[in-house]
C-alpha cells in the first residue's frame, strides 16, 4: 500500500489494485499518517523519495 500511496494513487485506485474496499484503504492511510506523523500525502511522498523509495 505504501508504494501505491507515494505514487500519488487515489484511495479508489489503491483499493482496486489491492482488492480492498475504499473504507479499508481510508483507514489504512489514516493509520499510516498517524504512525508517521505526516499530515498529508505530499509530505509523506517527499520524505519517502528523499529516503530512496
pLDDT digits (tens, 9 = 90+) for 3-46: 999 999 999 999 999 999 999 999 999 999 999 999 999 999 99
Burial of 44 (0-12, 13-18, 19+ CB in 10 A): buried
**Helix or strand or coil: residue 20?**
coil
First vs last C-alpha separation in the chain: 13
**Counting every residue, how long is the chain?**
53
Instruction: Give the confidence band of 53 by pLDDT, cuts at 50, 70, 90.
Output: confident
Element (H, E) at 16: helix 11-18
Instruction: Report CA dihedral (41, 25, 7, 53) to the nearest 10 degrees.
Output: 80
At residue 44, the pLDDT reads: 92
Amino acid at each position: 500500500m505504501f508504494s501505491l500511496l507515494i505514487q500519488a494513487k487515489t484511495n479508489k485506485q489503491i483499493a482496486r489494485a489491492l482488492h480492498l474496499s475504499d473504507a479499508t484503504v481510508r483507514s489504512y492511510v489514516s493509520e499510516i499518517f498517524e504512525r508517521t506523523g505526516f499530515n498529508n500525502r505530499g509530505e509523506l511522498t517527499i520524505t519517502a523519495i528523499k529516503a530512496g523509495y
